A and B are shown apart, each in its own frame.
Chain A
Amino acid sequence: MKNEKTKTENKSAGAKKQAEMKAGAKTETKPFEVDRRSVYKCVQCGTCRSVCPVFEAVGWESANTRGRMLIIKSLLEGREPSEDVLPSLATCTTCGICAAKCPAGANPPEVVEEARSELVRLGITTEGQEKLLSAVTTTGNSFGESRDRLHWLPDAERSKLPEKSDYIYFVGCFDSYRYPEFAKKTFEVLQRFGVTLLPDENCCASPLLRTGFRPDAEKVMEHNLEQIQKVGAHTIITGCAGCYTTLKNNYPEKLRVISVPEFLGEHLGELKLKRLDLTVSYHDPCHLGRHNEVYDAPREVIKAICELKEMKNIRENSRCCGGGGGVRIGYPDISLELAGKRLEDVPEEVDYIVTSCPLCVRNLRDAGGDIEIIDIIELVAMALE
């Protein structure tokens, strides 16, 4: 399989554990275990096989959802976990189209994430996973950037940031370091509504959770949570689909989280957007759409500005951009192939492809194509000018 890289003796707790075991230290390791009921829901009918985008690119049974569920089942039934399972379990983008289609109601992305956690505990990881872990734990962001996270915000504005607010804009690693212009434009709009920023935001923990580093993720979540509590906000606003689903569904405390398009949709009247002579298409990010059913808000915002021409597969049937689940970093060729496939869904004669997730922007842009891919905030910024 392409880009297959594994690393068993690195920095994670699990890797250390395996190194100790290899050195002969007497430690009793709990066998691989995940929620069995979730695994046994799978009746192996193969419905997921027909929709798994990674399988379409790779072609091996182990690279589709049913294969992943089977491999997890085999580990539960006593097969020795080894690096051999990584090309299967580490290539899931957690896009969730399998869960959306599963007649038996299984939730494979959840099972895969749980299995990844177990593999991490047992010291079985890819180099890509270890890279992510090291970046987030040492720098607080998934890129390993040492720059200040709020470098995009002028000092003068920074000093004026309200210490208390009902609303926080959670910027995310991607917008902080790769698309600071998105962060800037988003905050310019949100500031009008009294939204503030966290003084020391860290990665939301999504990359760690998706790739199985739960204990490490918990520390990062705790760090962010403490600050959220200090600001006293009741609502977190984010423009990243990964941050959105993580803050909403994985944080130890129930937070009210809304996406930038939802916030913009709620305030359309106040924004006074002008109509633009454009036709755009919209890409549903998996973690905003399928995982959280935010389908209408971005479309309402777009329609308030210009014409929307839908892609071939939309909403719950939308194709994954290929970036999620650690696949972009671990298996870039597969990731780009998926992005290329997604671009084939774009209708003719559109001026832009709009989306609401910087990871999708990045991956789709990297796949090339003639049509510019923009974040929804850029479209809104154009309509505000």
Chain B
Amino acid sequence: MDITEELREIVGERFSVSSSELYCYSSDASQVRGAPDYVVRPESTEEVSRIVKLAFEHEIPVTARGAGTGLAGGAVPVQGGIVLDLSGMNRLLEIDLDNLQVVVEPGVIQDTLNDVLKPYGFFFPPNPGSSAMCTIGGMIAYNASGMRCVKYGTTRNYVRDLEVVLADGTVIHTGSKMLKSAAGYDLTQLMIGSEGTLGIVTKAGLKIAPLPKARKLVIAAFENAELAGKAVIKTFSNGVVPSACEILDGVSLQVLKRYDPNLVLPAEGDVILFEVDGTETSAHEAAEQVMEVCSPLALTIKLAESEKEMADIWAARKLVGAAVSRLDPTKTRIYVGEDVGVPMKQIPELLRRVQEISEEFDLPAMKYGHIGDGNLHLALFIDVLNPDEWDRLNKAADKVHMTAIELGGTVSSEHGVGAARGKYMEVQWGPAFEVMRMIKKALDPKGILNPGKLGL
């Protein structure tokens, strides 16, 4: 039996080699491209295990994919082979409120999970901008986070147990419902952020958190990024940990206003959105404190007046990255150099250097990000029909990545390395990268799991 027949036997009609289908699975939201030879949509751990076992025997690459919203080509099969579309494994298997946990399949959408949890008064905190479409499996594979990371942490902080299919098809559990364990290596943490290069997650036990009773939003505009950065540091040192702390530059403001003209945002300056949460009283007090601390540094400062005003700002902020075309229809935002991070104190310096790079390569840039955790999202936009702009774009992105490393930071804070940033791994990690290579070799001796990623 050839592999086509064997795959068909495992998944039936959920198998495709149609050229159009293969084309659709040859990219994600990044610029990385690579066509698979087969696409399958398994619906159970058993099916995944059989497929991976088959791939192991035939030494064919296997690339797991969720919603394909990744920004580094993590789900792109750059060496061909099988794409495992896990988005159909989307059952919420257990809501265990007594243990503050849920068990989900990897294809569950982040927002869907939170919609289900809301009536119980709980939520799964990591919230990437793509929460309406990204899958939990993808979030685990890339250790995704988002705007509330500053207080709630990343996906890594919420995974208790993973069911993982290893390279030879063996199924293991990496943890349990226990809050802590002192028994052996932490394989759960090893798997998180491993981008499908060590195993395929087929179930996840996740910790959930009680929903805060109240949230408040302080919107402050500063004359420049340095002052904005100072305000953030002052806020922390006054004992306030905001639940989100976002910076938006002037271009981001224009894009947001074009996206939703009714948004109540300052007219100019570098803006920080401080969100605080807690009980009605504690959130109110924290918001007052942020206002008091930041007022001497800010051009303008105000508290969002209603839940709706706040919700509208966050909804627009979540999608700002893709909305650049609204400013100039001939420009498209290309996701490169878009996720660097530096120690929080270095953010103003990073912003300055990034601005210089944007000017050097004559590329318009929009800068926004999670200033509270040092993560800057740079949006470079170009006319995609102009090859020269592509060339300058890639050079600029390279410089941005190197700048982040130079400032003691990382080439990716929450989007992952994938195939887009592999070449920086050695530079960023030095000899530690060799350890990663050894781990990869031990768990995937034939190199079939998502080859060509993480620079491995």
Contacts and interface: CB of A to CB of B under 8 A. Distances in A.
A47 B322 contact: yes
A40 B18 contact: no
A74 B133 contact: no
Nearest to A42: B332
A236 to B, nearest CB: 32
A85 B20 contact: yes
Interface stretch (A12-20, A57-65, A157-165, A291-299): A57-65
A350 interface: no
A112 to B, nearest CB: 14
B23 interface: yes
Contacts of A40: 332, 384-385
B64 to A, nearest CB: 14
A50 interface: yes
B67 interface: yes
A104 B18 contact: no
Given A37-B330, A59-B41, A46 B20 contact: no
B263 to A, nearest CB: 14
A105 interface: yes
A41 B335 CA distance: 13
Given A46-B130, A103-B323, A104-B332, A62 B20 contact: yes
Interface in B1-45: 14, 16, 18-21, 23-25, 27-29, 39, 41
Contacts of B330: 37
B66 to A, nearest CB: 10
Contacts of A49: 67-69, 133
Given A47-B132, A50-B132, A71 B319 contact: no
A135 interface: no
Contacts of A381: none
Nearest to B259: A103
Interface string B75-117: 0000000000101100000000000000000000100000000
B326 interface: yes
B176 to A, nearest CB: 32
B384 A44 contact: no
Contacts of A59: 14, 41, 87-88
A67 interface: yes
Interface in B120-154: 130, 132-134
Given A40-B332, A62-B18, A71 B325 contact: no
B16 A60 contact: yes
B333 interface: yes
A67 B332 CA distance: 18
Contacts of B109: 50
A103 B133 contact: no
B239 interface: no
B253 to A, nearest CB: 16
Nearest to B335: A43
A87 interface: yes
B130 A105 contact: no
B24 A45 contact: no
B69 A43 contact: no
A44 B28 contact: yes
Nearest to B88: A59
Contacts of A79: 19, 23
Contacts of B85: 61
Interface in A30-48: 36-37, 40-41, 43-47
Nearest to A82: B19
Interface string B315-351: 0000111111110011011110000000000000000
Contact of A36 (B18, B28, B41, B385): B385
Given A45-B322, A46-B29, A47-B322, A88 B68 contact: no
Chain A CB within 10 A, most for which of B87, B322, B385: B322
A156 to B, nearest CB: 55
A70 interface: yes
Chain A CB within 10 A, most for which of B19, B20, B69: B20
Contacts of A82: 19
Given A43-B332, A46-B130, A70 B27 contact: yes
A84 interface: yes
A62 B134 CA distance: 17
Given A37-B330, A45-B29, A103-B322, A71 B68 contact: no
Nearest to A55: B87
A242 to B, nearest CB: 27
Chain A CB within 10 A, most for which of B14, B85, B384: B384
A50 B18 CA distance: 23
Chain A CB within 10 A, most for which of B14, B23, B39: B23
A70 B130 contact: no
Contacts of A71: 20, 23-24
A73 B18 CA distance: 17
A61 B39 CA distance: 10
Given A47-B132, A105-B323, A105-B326, A41 B69 contact: no
4 closest Cβ pairs, A-B complex: A103-B319, A50-B133, A61-B24, A103-B322
5 contacts: A37-B385, A62-B18, A104-B323, A104-B325, A105-B329
